[in-house]
Structure formats: structure tokens, C-alpha cells
Amino acid sequence: MAGINCIGILTSGGDAPGMNAAIRAVTRSAIFGGFKVKGIYRGYRGLITGEIQEFKTQNVSNIIQAGGTILKTARCKEFQTPEGRQLAYETLKKEGIDALVVIGGDGSLTGARIFATEFNFPIVGLPGTIDNDLYGTDKTIGYDTALNTIMECVDKIRDTATSHERLFFIEVMGRDAGFLALNGAIATGAEAAIIPEISTEVDQLAELIQSGFRKSKNSSIVLVAESPITGGAMALAERVKNEYPQYDVRVTILGHLQRGGSPTAVDRILASRMGAAAVDALLEDQRNVMIGIRNDEIVYVPFSKAIKNDKPINRELLNTLRRLSI
């Protein structure tokens, strides 16, 4: 493709299992296509500070199974300013990098979109976030692994919940998206999921208690999406204490456990396909697009759509959870 000899790769925002598999795939596909590859450390900050290293095939050996990101990641306030982005652009020019592959979530792709527009620079994004909240792709890199981690944790908590006849609130990540909570609840046979998508429509806690959810069971597990909209598990437990004091409530916040660990086969394959597709996209003169997967086919999603549009929750899943939790 015209004018591209060297491709830069960075990971930005929250880490997600499978990012390393994506770095490996981009690096090797690019080298296979005859390009030079440079790894940029610590996300956009590395573009400003010039923490950059040329990557050969062996730089990405033996990383497909590792969680986290070998390129490290950092939040970068400076990149949010025009001056910071100007510095980043100068670094790219100095390093001879002609195109970028950015692996990250919503915020990372927003940064990529602004930068690409300002400097007319070819950027392709890969959706790397456990939240699964990017529009235009059925799955994001890291989501499947996080879901499996949640499942293992909740299975262990259920052992103690059953022994003690308590109500357990388990808080999972997801920011303003309930995918981890809802699918985690189905996978673990939890009684309910409290998610931001329907918090404005119904009082999920009241609905849960009033449905007599403990008629047939002595212990209950409820997954809660961390979000200002749901209030999180602590706020809900506080409400139960005040409004339904007859229940003995316990809270577990899974936190950063969910981000770590070796990626599942699903995430390794997804990251590998998307990484290779990012290089194809650049070869096809695509820019300002995120690589997505829809119905098991690779698709190109314009940054503007991936960032701006909210990804809808599948209402059918809510219905399934309700029916199975009686």
C-alpha cells in the first residue's frame, strides 16, 4: 500500500487478556507482509516520551498465553492536549512510523480517532477490553477470559453461600455495560443480574426481592455491574440493610481479578484473527476503522460508529435468566 513501510503498535487503557496475542498477530502479519514493526511502550505516553523499540518475530515469541500486555499500558493526560498530540506526531515521524495499530477500549479509540483526523494519519483499532462495550463487534478481546474468571469465582462463592444461607452481591466490572454481569449470571446459575441498561426502567432490587426470589432456595447470588447507575454492590447491600433487614447480606467485589490470567482459546483466536485483519486493513488503504467480528466474520467499523453508538444488551438473555432462576 502507498507510503507505508513501518507499522507501530501500542496498547492503551485498561489491560485485557489476549492483548499479547493481538500484539503477536499484528507483528507477525506485518513482517510477513514485508513491513517493519515498532512496539510503542506505555500507550500514548510512549509516543510522547519516545519509548519505542523495533520488533522482530522473536520479540513476540512465547507471549500468546500471557495475560496483560508486554507493551505495558498507561493513561496519558498529555495526549488529550493538542500540544501532546503534536509531540506524538513528531515522534512518529522521527521513528519513521507510517501507520498505527491501537489496541484498547473506548477511550483509546477516541484518542486514535482525534489523532488520525488532526494529522491525517492511518490508524486501525483493535477492540481490547473485558467490558465488551464497543459497538459493531460481537465480542471484544478479553471478554471471554474475564467471563470465565467470573464464573470460576462465583462457583467458589456459591459453595460458601449455600453453607450459610445468605444473600450474596458479587460486583463485576463492565463500566456502563452489563454484559459481564448478565452473561456471568447465566453461566453461574445466579438468581439475578443488576445491570445499568435497565436500571432507569425498573428498580431492580425491589423487583428482585418482591419476586420472592428465595421461596425455593436458601441462598441467593446476585451479580451487580459496577456503575454509577446501579450504584455498585456496596450501595445495594446498604439498601437491603435499610429496607429489607431480614436478609443477611454479603458483598464480594471481584475487581482486578477479572482482568488477569491466561487468555482462553476463544480470546487467543479472536485476537489472532483481528491482529492479522488490522494489517490487511492497512494494506487495503483503510484508516480510522476498528476491526470487529460479526457472525464470525471480520468487519471494519468506522471509529465514529464504534465509539458513539451504545452496544445494546440482548433482552432475550434477561428473559432466559429470569426463567431459569425460579
Q: Give the tens place of pLDDT for each residue, 257-298.
A: 999 999 999 999 999 999 999 999 999 999 999 999 999 999
Would the pLDDT of 144 be above 90? yes
- What CATH number matches the domain at 6-142+263-308, 3.40.640.10, 3.40.50.450, 3.30.465.10, 2.102.10.10? 3.40.50.450
pLDDT of residue 207: 81
Of the options 3.40.50.460, 2.30.40.10, 3.30.70.20, 2.60.40.10, the CATH number for the domain spanning 145-259: 3.40.50.460
For residue 214, pLDDT over 70 is answered with no
Average pLDDT over residues 114-135: 97
Q: What is the mean pLDDT of residues 221-239?
A: 93
pLDDT over 90 percentage in the chain = 80
pTM of the complete model: 0.95
Q: Residue 212 above 70 pLDDT?
A: no
Domains 6-142+263-308 and 145-259 share a fold: yes
Whether residue 2 is predicted with pLDDT greater than 70 in this model: the reply is: no
What pLDDT score was predicted for residue 213? 60
Distance CA 162, CA 80 (A): 49
Active-site residue 131, yes or no? Answer: yes
From the candidates 131, 133, 144, 267, give the one annotated as an active-site residue: 131
232: left (phi over 0), alpha (psi -120 to 50) or beta: left
- State yes or no: pLDDT of 218 exceeds 80: no
What are the tens digits of pLDDT across the range 291-300? 999 999 999 9
The mean pLDDT value for 248-253 works out to 93
Residues 6+ apart with CB under 8 A from 316: none
Output DSSP code: residue 310. Answer: P
Structural domain spans, the chain? 6-142+263-308, 145-259
Give the H or E element holding residue 168: strand 167-172
pLDDT surpasses 90 at 167: no
Average pLDDT, the chain: 93
At residue 274, the 3 state secondary structure works out as: helix
Helix axis angle for 179-188 and 315-324, nearest 10°, is 30
Q: How confident is the model at residue 8 (pLDDT cuts 50, 70, 90)?
A: very high
| Range from 15-19, 81-85, 225-229 carrying the lowest mean pLDDT | 225-229
In this structure, are residues 306 and 288 in contact, taking their beta carbons and an 8 Å threshold? no
